[in-house]
A and B are shown apart, each in its own frame.
Chain A
Amino acid sequence: MERLTGRLVQMYGNIVSFLRKCIFYILSVGLIPNHIAFIMDGNRRYTKRLNLMQGAGHKVGYSALMSMLKYCYELGVRYVTIYAFSIDNFKRSPEEVQSLMDLMLDKIEELLREESIVNRYGIRVYFSGNLKLLNEPVRLAAERVMLATAKNSKAVLSICVAYTSTNEIVHAVRESCEEKWDEITLLNSSGGYVPDESDHLIKVTDIEKHMYMAFAPDPDIIIRTSGETRLSNFLLWQSANCYLYSPSVLWPEIGFRQFLWAILNFQRIRFYFDRKRKQL
């Protein structure tokens, strides 16, 4: 009896998967976004709403994340970025921060396993952010994953931890200044020309190449769940022309419906955008 139930569940899963692939096939007639970013908001509210144990919302949120990643990579989205932990989140209670760090460590180590999603889809993983702010086990695990997946080339997963956009920009500016500083010092010492006041020492390209997210193109869609409509210091620089989608579901509740809606709207808006540009 149990084996029959198991078989039925498996068959159901296969049918759903097949239908989904059909839908993705139809969608790929239109433009597929190259890069989607997620702000995974609403885990604590989910816990509270369903009266669950502390931290349960984040665990359910993790499986929601796995589903969304599966949809993205099946559709053919090459870059996915997730806002896992902001520098501002360190302001939360030490117990909460610690439990989030523990969850992250656990899940990062899962990525290293054979059957994990990164191997299934050939994903290269990056951890973007000020990793020095993380505790050592998490940082080391992150570095191990980055090394282990460095040769993967089918898709990219960027996990933003200890990240804020303003911190990213400050870091990029500092690095650009230091680079120019060294250049100027070198030129001066070798008797090279000294740039005058009107020279633009720093250009956009200098800053961009030192960003934590320099390896990825700008996102096409930023999806923030739980109905909050703000960026919360996420990808500010890169979101200049990005479509912002803010469904009201909490992150653990996000599903295929919201994903499909985001893609359809992206395609509709892009079509209008391109037409407007051609008109100019």
Chain B
Amino acid sequence: MLFSLHFSLPPAITPLPFKPLSHVPHHHHTLNMLPSPPVLKSPLCSTMEHFTLNHHGKEEGLDGGVEVDQTLPLGLRRETMPRHVAVIMDGNRRWARSRDLPVRSGYEAGVRSLRTIVELCCKWGIKALSVFAFSSDNWFRPKVEVELLMSLFERGMQEDTGIFFRENIRISVIGDLVKLPQALQELILNLEETTKNNTHFQLIVAVSYSGQYDVVQACQRLALKAKHGHIEPSDIDISLIEQELETNCSEFPRPDLLIRTGGEFRISNFMLWQLAYTELFFAQSLWPDFGEAEFLKALLAFQQRQRRYGC
């Protein structure tokens, strides 16, 4: 896909050239090239009827707060924004350890980071964000830590319920939820039910999830259908499996971009099937340090990629 050559407004700065997986450990440097856009932080729940790509950060007067021009940071193009971004939020514990803080502080800082990224996604027109909150493999961590994480999930969901409603955010939780504490399960089901008609943005939280688990559970459902005679085993194809994957709760089940923080170069059993054509971006910084600058860097890199899908 050729990038749009008809782009009339030249960016004031050239985006950083993307260095694919440079193995020389490069130190996290802040993207200080951006002038701070003189735009009012627009309320997230405003109806964004049309978007104007406005490089000079013009702001429109808030006319009763109904329609506000959304602006993207310099360099980002609206037409090639990923619709669905997935994140592996790695590095919370290392972050805490490097500051001589307890592990709990690391996770709490991670939650704050997540809130920032959700806000940015809403602002920049990304429709869905999937986060790998808790892997099937994480059940093997020390019991104390697992309980801490469960209580953090519960607290996070309770505290942010108001925000989800205000910002028109739909929450979906995917994973093997039967392993979670009962109270948390109920909270999740309730939250999913009450936010299911929200349309502005979808946050998909993967808890007790793994890519292999997702494919296996899809297959089990198909096997059951075959057993009851609804389908023949020979009917099973790619689309039937995709319908049964847990990501079918989203309009965009396949992420366009996967970001993994923390410097590791692996998928760690996150959404395997759905990542078939996803662009992968490995960030060196730890998750609590992953803010607007780093996210922008990842999106700019994504927009420079040429996606051929085998052609």
Contacts and interface: CB of A to CB of B under 8 A. Distances in A.
Interface string B35-65: 0000000000000000000000000000000
A243 B23 CA distance: 12
Contacts of A165: 272-273, 276
B124 interface: no
B158 interface: no
Contact of A229 (B20, B142, B311): B20
Contact of B273 (A166, A200, A248): A166
Interface in B68-118: none
Contacts of A231: 275-278, 280
Interface in B291-311: 305-307, 309-311
B230 interface: no
B165 interface: no
Given A170-B236, A245-B21, A236 B226 contact: no
Given A170-B237, A248-B20, A280-B141, A240 B220 contact: no
A177 interface: yes
B299 to A, nearest CB: 14
Given A170-B238, A177-B223, A280 B276 contact: no
A224 to B, nearest CB: 9
B310 to A, nearest CB: 2
A204 interface: yes
Contacts, number: 141
B310 A89 contact: yes
A207 B227 contact: no
A175 to B, nearest CB: 8
Nearest to B220: A202
Interface range, A side: 35 or more
A246 B142 CA distance: 34
A88 B309 contact: yes
B253 to A, nearest CB: 13
Interface stretch (A100-108, A132-140, A146-154, A178-186): A178-186
B116 to A, nearest CB: 24
Contacts of A164: 276
Contacts of A119: none
A176 interface: yes
Interface string A197-237: 10011111001000000000000000000011111110011
Interface of A: 86-89, 91-92, 164-167, 169-170, 173-174, 176-178, 180-181, 184, 197, 200-204, 207, 227-233, 236-237, 239-248, 261, 265, 269, 280
Given A169-B215, A173-B222, A236-B275, 8 more contacts: A177-B236, A207-B216, A230-B280, A231-B276, A237-B212, A241-B268, A248-B20, A261-B23
9 contacts: A88-B310, A180-B223, A181-B226, A204-B212, A241-B266, A241-B269, A244-B266, A247-B21, A280-B142
Interface of B: 19-21, 23, 140-142, 210-212, 215-216, 219-220, 222-224, 226-227, 233-234, 236-238, 241, 264-269, 272-273, 275-282, 305-307, 309-311
